């Protein structure tokens, strides 16, 4: 046991002190923040030049005093009097927007004219101008027909489907809760997928390195191969937990700082989007509130420990399998590939099942794939937020633990033969034979 601890400690410390580890751990959150800032910047980029647009309104839809068109980035609307031809030569305007009169209030088609020397107008700009005009026509017609503002608004009704149980003990998830659960579930499934691959590969690399370095023969003359393997798995597992923990703290902090520094106030973005979509701000606020309450309502005390169990279980199972492949093939990458598909395939299938499961958490696919141990570490964390029946969780965890023991044992059998085998092309059949080799 002391040797296991020594191996684990070396695997952990030698990785955590590596420059590449420190860089990845610190740079990844920065990169994410940078990506979001750049993405946000690009999405809001409207071109540097300001276009002055002369607006000639002969229809009266823009109202008497106020101009009902919003000045946006890149576009400045100025209401002018006169005819289109008067402004065609005017250098102080880049474009002219002509709003012809509405002849018939019942008409559902309206053509406005936009004069400019630019051949192409961005589709975003066109849409925005059209939407603005539509809104103005809407209020113009409303006033012309003499409709009451509030009663008109009350024609639009938001429908929420609140689910209730048939029997008293039927568990029911509210609709907003299921949206939240989908978000949480998807995020968890994604983290699991990512962790299994990334840290599983790390274990595999460590195994092949020892084999090609030829230190492994010295190692196994001092430590039992199984302890060497376990030390590796535990050491890298701790590295994974360390990294994930650092990210869990750093990413929100850096994002907050970045947003504050670049003045990208989250509320401001939200507000501008609201205006565009003409959604009631109050509605948004109440939605945000319900999201927050749903997030708070989640049973984190259950979700987080279970997530950790699936994380460790899935990681141990898959990384031991990756280690077995690494031990059998050494650093021959093409050979690695041919033996790796039996491991990568279930991970990828589980990933797709996870997507389907967050959409439809009560399906029998969800139930059965969360029992199957190669899928459950990715599928079950995605279901946790949907509060699956407790017996399913218990059974799934029990099967997972049994499978972890089985797969670690299996991989240990392959590993102890593989690390001492050189210069032989290995097939799956060969690996199967190794299981039954005597020590």
Partner 1 sequence: MNILEVKNVHKQYSNHKAVNGVSFAVPEGCIFGLLGPNGAGKTSLIRIITGITKADQGEVNLDGGKLDARHPSKIGYMPEERGLYKKMKVGSQLMYLARLRGMSKAEASIAIDHWFNKFDIQSWRNKKVEELSKGMQQKIQFISTVIHNPRVIILDEPFSGLDPINSNLMKDEIYELKSTGTSIILSTHRMEQVEEICEYMVLINKGENVLDGAVSEVKERFKEHCFKICYKGDLPKSLPPSIQIIKQKEGEMTIQVTDDRDSNSFLDQLIRAGVYIQSFEEILPSVNEIFIRVVGETNPVA
Residues in the chain: 439
Task: Choose between 10 and 73: whose C-beta lies nearer to partner 1.
Answer: 10
- DSSP per-residue string spanning 406-426: HHHHHHHHHHHHHTT--S---
Binding segment (CB under 8 A) for partner 1, from list 3-11, 53-61, 240-248, 294-302: 3-11
Please, what is the minimum distance in Å from the beta carbon of residue 412 to partner 1? 15
Q: What H or E segment, with its residue span, contains residue 76?
A: strand 75-80
Q: Does 438 interact with partner 1 (rule: CB under 8 A)? A: yes
Please, what is the minimum distance in Å from the beta carbon of residue 369 to partner 1? 38
What gap in Å lies between CA 100 and CA 103, rounded to an integer?
9
User: What is residue 134's three-state secondary structure?
Assistant: helix
Q: Say if CB 251 and CB 25 are below 8 A apart.
A: no
Q: Does 220 interact with partner 1 (rule: CB under 8 A)? A: yes
Give residues with Cβ within 8 angstroms of 212, minimum separation 6: 330, 331
Q: Does 427 interact with partner 1 (rule: CB under 8 A)? A: no
In terms of Cβ atoms closer than 10 Å to its own Cβ (0-12, 13-18, 19+), residue 408 is buried
Task: Choose between 33 and 239: whose C-beta lies nearer to partner 1.
Answer: 239
Q: Does 331 interact with partner 1 (rule: CB under 8 A)? A: no
Instruction: Say how many residues touch partner 1, by CB under 8 A.
Output: 23
What gap in Å lies between CA 387 and CA 261, rounded to an integer?
39
Q: What is the DSSP letter of 50?
A: P
Binding segment (CB under 8 A) for partner 1, from list 110-118, 187-195, 375-383, 430-438: 430-438
Q: Does 432 interact with partner 1 (rule: CB under 8 A)? A: no
Please, what is the minimum distance in Å from the beta carbon of residue 237 to partner 1? 20
Count the neighbouring beta carbons within 10 Å of the beta carbon of residue 236. Answer: 26
Please, what is the minimum distance in Å from the beta carbon of residue 1 to partner 1? 11
Q: Does 16 interact with partner 1 (rule: CB under 8 A)? A: no
Please, what is the minimum distance in Å from the beta carbon of residue 223 to partner 1? 6
Among 10, 73, 88, 425, binds partner 1 (CB under 8 A): 10
Strand 75-80 with 51-57, pairing:
parallel
Pattern of binders to partner 1 over 174-213, x per CB under 8 A?
------------------------------------x--x
Q: Does 14 interact with partner 1 (rule: CB under 8 A)? A: yes
Q: Which of 285, 257, 256, 258 is nearest to 270 (CA)?
A: 285
Stretch 299-318 residues interacting with partner 1 (CB under 8 A): none
Q: Does 118 interact with partner 1 (rule: CB under 8 A)? A: no
What gap in Å lies between CA 20 and CA 26, rounded to an integer?
10
Among 172, 215, 245, 292, binds partner 1 (CB under 8 A): 215
Q: Does 1 interact with partner 1 (rule: CB under 8 A)? A: no
Among 78, 102, 223, 397, binds partner 1 (CB under 8 A): 223
Q: Does 216 interact with partner 1 (rule: CB under 8 A)? A: yes
Among 44, 50, 222, 287, binds partner 1 (CB under 8 A): 222
Q: What is the DSSP letter of 72?
A: B
Q: Say if CB 383 and CB 366 are below 8 A apart.
A: yes
Please, what is the minimum distance in Å from the beta carbon of residue 300 to partner 1? 40
Q: Which of 138, 156, 135 is nearest to 147 (CA)?
A: 138
Strand-by-strand arrangement of the 75-80 sheet: 75-80, 51-57, 95-99, 113-116
Q: How many CA atoms within 13 Å lie on the side-chain side of 271?
A: 5
Q: Does 218 interact with partner 1 (rule: CB under 8 A)? A: yes
Among 86, 90, 217, 268, binds partner 1 (CB under 8 A): 217
Among 6, 37, 264, 410, binds partner 1 (CB under 8 A): 6
Q: Does 424 interact with partner 1 (rule: CB under 8 A)? A: no
* End-to-end CA gap in the chain: 20
Task: Choose between 192 and 220: whose C-beta lies nearer to partner 1.
Answer: 220
- The residue ranges that bind partner 1 (CB under 8 A) are 3, 6-7, 10, 14, 18, 210, 213-223, 420, 433, 437-439
């Amino acid at each position: 046991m002391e040797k296991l601890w020594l191996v684990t400690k070396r695997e952990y410390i030698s990785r955590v002190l590596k420059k590449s580890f420190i860089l990845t751990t610190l740079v990844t959150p920065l990169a994410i923040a940078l990506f979001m800032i750049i993405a946000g910047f690009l999405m809001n980029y409207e071109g540097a030049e300001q276009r002055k647009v002369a607006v000639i309104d002969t229809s009266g839809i823009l109202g008497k005093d106020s101009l009902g068109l919003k000045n946006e980035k890149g576009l400045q609307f100025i209401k002018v009097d006169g005819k289109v031809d008067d402004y065609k030569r005017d250098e102080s305007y880049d474009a002219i927007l002509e709003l012809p009169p509405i002849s018939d209030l019942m008409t559902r088609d309206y053509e406005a004219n936009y004069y400019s020397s630019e051949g192409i107008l961005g589709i975003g700009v066109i849409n925005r101008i059209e939407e603005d005009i539509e809104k103005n026509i809407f209020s113009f017609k409303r006033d012309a027909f003499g409709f009451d503002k509030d009663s008109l608004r009350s024609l639009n009704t938001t429908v929420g489907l609140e689910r209730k149980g048939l029997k008293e003990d039927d568990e029911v998830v509210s609709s907003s809760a299921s949206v939240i659960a989908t978000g949480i579930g998807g995020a968890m499934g994604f983290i699991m997928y990512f962790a299994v691959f990334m840290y599983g590969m790390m274990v595999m690399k460590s195994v092949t390195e020892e084999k090609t370095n030829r230190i492994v023969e010295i190692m196994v003359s001092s430590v039992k191969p199984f302890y060497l393997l376990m030390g590796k798995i535990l050491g890298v597992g701790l590295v994974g937990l360390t990294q994930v923990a650092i990210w869990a703290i750093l990413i929100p902090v850096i994002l907050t700082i970045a947003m504050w520094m670049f003045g990208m106030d989250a509320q401001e973005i939200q507000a501008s989007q609201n205006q565009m979509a003409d959604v009631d701000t109050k509605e948004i606020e109440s939605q945000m509130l319900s999201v927050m309450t749903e997030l708070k309502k989640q049973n984190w005390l259950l979700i987080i420990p279970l997530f950790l169990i699936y994380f460790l279980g899935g990681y141990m199972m898959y990384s031991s399998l990756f280690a077995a492949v690494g031990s059998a093939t050494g650093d021959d990458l093409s050979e690695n590939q041919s033996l790796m598909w039996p491991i990568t395939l279930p991970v990828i299938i589980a990933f797709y099942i996870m997507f389907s499961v967050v959409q439809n958490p009560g399906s029998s696919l969800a139930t059965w794939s969360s029992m199957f141990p190669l899928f459950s570490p990715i599928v079950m964390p995605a279901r946790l937020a949907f509060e699956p029946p407790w017996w399913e969780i218990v059974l799934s965890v029990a099967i997972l633990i049994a499978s972890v023991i089985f797969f670690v044992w299996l991989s240990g059998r392959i590993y102890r033969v593989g690390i001492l085998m050189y210069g032989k092309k290995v097939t799956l059949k060969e690996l199967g034979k190794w299981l039954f080799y005597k020590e």
